[in-house]
Structure 1
Amino acid sequence: MLELLRPGGFIMIPILACSILALAIVLERFWTLRLNRVAPTHVINEFWRWVKKKEVNSHRLRTLQESSPLGRILAAGLMNAKHGRDVMRDSIEQEASQVVHELERFLNPLGTIAQITPLLGLLGTVIGMIKVFAEIQFGGIGNTENLAGGISEALITTASGLTVAIPALIFHRYFMRRVDEMVVTMEQEAIKLVEVVHGDREIDIEGA
Structure 2
Amino acid sequence: MKTFLNRIKTSINLSQLAPALQTVHASLQHSRCDCIRRTRQRGLWLASLLAPCLLQAQETSEAAANDSLNLWGLIQQGGWAMYPLGACSLAMFFLIFYSWKETSRKKFFSVEQVQAASVAVAAKDYKQAQSTIAEGKTLLGRALAPALPKLGTNREKAENLFIENLEAEENAVSQWVTYLNVVASVAPMIGLLGTVSGMISAFQTIGRGGMGRPELLAGDIGEALITTATGLVIGIPAMIAYFVLKNRLNTAMIATAQAGTEVLEAD
The TM tier, using the shorter chain, reads 0.7 to 0.9
The correspondence for 2:109, drawn from 30, 36, 39, is: 39
The ranges of structure 1 where at least 4 consecutive aligned residues each deviate by more than 6 angstroms after the TM superposition are none
The correspondence for 2:131, drawn from 52, 62, 65, is: 62
CA distance in 2, matches of 1:86, 1:43: 23
Report the Cα offset of residue 13 of structure 1: 0.4
Report the Cα offset of residue 38 of structure 1: 1.1
Cα distance change of structure 1 residues 192 and 42 upon mapping to structure 2, 3 Å threshold: closer
Tell whether 2:157 aligns with 1:95: no
How many residues align? The count is 196
Tell whether 2:226 aligns with 1:156: yes
Matches within 5 A, 1:68-147: 68-147=138-217
Contact 1:7 1:149 in 2 (8 A): yes
RMSD: 1.8
Contact 2:126 2:151 in 1 (8 A): no
TM-score under structure 2 normalisation?
0.68
Report the Cα offset of residue 141 of structure 1: 1.7
Tell me, which stretches of 5 or more residues in structure 1 are unaligned? 198-208
Partner of 1:206: none
Which protein has greater RCO, CA pairs closer than 8 Å, 6+ apart? 1
Who wins on radius of gyration, i.e. which is larger?
2
Flag the structure with higher helix content.
Answer: 2
CA distance in 1, matches of 2:206, 2:187: 29
Report the Cα offset of residue 60 of structure 1: 5.0
Percent identity, aligned pairs only, is: 29
* 1:4-61 CA distance string (max 9 Å, x none): 2210000110000011011111111111111022122232233234334x27453552
Contact 2:121 2:263 in 1 (8 A): no
Partner of 1:205: none
Report the Cα offset of residue 189 of structure 1: 2.2
Tell me, which stretches of 5 or more residues in structure 2 are unaligned? 1-70
CA distance in 1, matches of 2:202, 2:73: 20
Report the Cα offset of residue 196 of structure 1: 2.7
